[in-house]
Amino acid sequence: MILSALLGNIAGMPQPVSHIRSDVQRNRRALLEAAQELLSARGDVPMYEIARHAGVGQATLYRHFPDRRALLGAIAEEVLDGLEADAAAIPPGPDALATFLHQLVASMLRTHTLVQLAVAESADPREPGSLLHDLVQRLLRMIAVCVEQAAAAGTLRPDVTPDDVLIVVGMVKGVVDGVPVEEREAAAARALDFALHGILVAPPR
C-alpha cells in the first residue's frame, strides 16, 4: 500500500481535494498580502511583480485575479470585512456614528494609495456592478445602522442621511488627498472634527 501510494504520487495521480483547496487558499492569501504591501507602497506595481513577491507564477495569479480590477476588488472586500467587524464591535448608542467614522477614516489613511487605485480602475460609481458602486453600497449599509442609532438618541441633525455622511467621508478624503503623507493623519482628524460638529446635535463624548 505504501509502495503504491508512492508510485501514484510519482505518476502524477491527483492529490486529495483538501490538499488542493489548501494550496489554492494559501496562494490566494499570499497574492493578496503581496498586492497590499506593494501597491500600498508604490501604487504602480505590475502584476508579474506581485506574483513574484507572492512566490507564485503568473498563471496562478491570473487564475485567481484575471486583471488589476479584480485584485483591487478583492483587497477592498477584505478592508470592508474588517470595517464591518469593527462596526459590529461598537456599542450601540449615540456615539456609534462618530466612533465608526473615526475607524473609517483611520482605515482610509492606511489604505490611501489602494483607494486611489480603486477609484482610477473603477467605472462610473453610479453604475450598478462597477467596483466603486458595489463598495459604496456596502459602506452605506454600515453607515445607515449608525445613523439610525444616532437619530434615535437625538444626537444627529434630523435632516442627515447616510448619503450625507458619505459626503462627509468624501470631504475628509479630499483634505487627505491634498496634503503630504506626514500631515495626513492630523489633517484628517481636524477635518473630521469639523465635519462631526456640523452633523451632530452635540459633540461626541
Q: CATH 1.10.357.10 occupies which residues in the chain?
A: 68-199
The 10s digit of each residue's pLDDT in 60-90 is 999 999 988 888 888 888 888 988 998 889 8
pLDDT attached to residue 6: 36
CATH number belonging to domain 68-199: 1.10.357.10
Q: Which CATH number fits domain 14-66: 2.10.25, 2.60.40, 1.10.10, 1.25.40?
A: 1.10.10
pLDDT attached to residue 7: 38
Which own/partner contact pairs does 164-167 have at CB distance under 8 Å and 24+ positions apart? 164/199, 165/97, 165/101, 165/199, 166/136, 166/139, 166/140
Report the pLDDT averaged over residues 119-145.
Answer: 77
Residue 4 has pLDDT above 90, yes or no: no
* Highest mean pLDDT pick, 5-9, 130-134, 196-200: 196-200
pLDDT attached to residue 73: 84
pLDDT attached to residue 123: 59
Q: CATH 1.10.10 occupies which residues in the chain?
A: 14-66
**What is the model's pTM?**
0.77
Q: Is 160 left (phi over 0), alpha (psi -120 to 50) or beta?
A: beta
